[in-house]
Structure 1
Amino acid sequence: MLYIDGISLNKIKDELETTLKGKGVNKIVQTSSLAISMNFGKQKLIFSCFSSLPLCYLSDQKEENLLDENTTFSLNLKKQISGSSLISIEQIGFDRILIFKFSKLNELGEVKIFNLYFEMMGKHSNLVLTDSNNKVIDSIKRFSLEENSARVLFPGIDYSNPTIDLKIDPNLLSEKDFNIEKENNTLIKNVEGMGKLLVKNLSSYEKLTSILKDSISPKLFLD
């Protein structure tokens, strides 16, 4: 399983927004039961909601369509998002939820706004399409009360965020509090966006502030 924490996702968000903001969506393909390919010209934005690989990334390779027919979700996505422009990508705090905002001119000349929530939550990972009032239009997964007692998700209801524990914003964390949390091994539990790999390699408060402020710089490692 590929694990991305909220701070890493924040860097990915910046890269995606720099690359895609203002560009139009010209094609949408649901390549499998839990994956979507969204074309911005020659570049493709891939969403994977598989529990072992919850991830969104850019690709210039052709994605193979493994579905025999369109699903209701892909049809709704094409109807509302095809021909639209991406106006922003936001993140809910430092949690693993991105909001892709699209703008589209309808047949009456009115500008319509749609939100695509990408929730990277392991087995509960999901793509949720809403209108400008945050009413759910559709989602790639639908959860009943029996499957998830804390949250119901189906068309027509108001979108609500998954249950998220209140944690400290890493940008507001003081050096004193950082040292206390690190000494007590509670950085992951009490600070937003912290993952095991980050905490393992976080040697000092200065290292954390550097990571938060520096621009993205992808690297390849061979183990």
Structure 2
Amino acid sequence: MAEKNTTSGKKVTAMSLAEVRDFIEILAKENPDAKSELNYTSPYTLLVAVVLSAQATDASVNKATEKLFKIASTPADIVALGEDGVAQYINSIGLWRAKSRNVVALSQQLIEHYNSEVPGERKALEALPGVGRKTANVILNIAFNQNTMAVDTHIFRLGNRTGLAIGKDVLAVEKALVRRIPKELLRDSHHWLILHGRYICKARKPECWRCPATEVCHYPDKNLVV
């Protein structure tokens, strides 16, 4: 059975498949309408928002795109706006220069190769500037209803901390989650897990005392006191 050390030196053991199902179903019951916190109106604006969200909060991205998408919400609009134009709207978020460059470049590629449409294949998505595996997984999951699992820092931490999916890197955790979560729950699990990691199973001090799935969780250092 896979194990991982906690900061206290105690071992986290992997959940059984039955426990994995219980854990996910508990989160689903607590938050049945979970969805992305990024604001978007189309697969394209979702793609832009996800690219902008790297090393930035969803709230900061939404603040920037609220104004940007009123002016430019299609690949042609963004290309016409240009790097400097895009930068004026997103310079409040991290890595804005590189992101401006990538957003314009990926928009140009969509125009040239995909008739301005966002492709629904991983290889095509990952070939776009600024789009890696995690971003591709988000797009495939939300825009194309595919059973993908986008592992960010929250899900990576949660998977290892709880025993849901133990792995040394994000790809290992992603593969473990896809393998261990029941297929009928997999697509929506991305939202349940990221929100749970963002608001309850926090990095520095997990709020175990208000976690609905604490009895299933294998984290040995649970703090059940407010």
Higher relative contact order (CA 8 A, sep 6+): 2
Q: Which has the higher helix share?
A: 2
TM-score, structure 2 as length reference = 0.27
Q: Which has the higher strand share?
A: 1
TM-score, structure 1 as length reference = 0.27
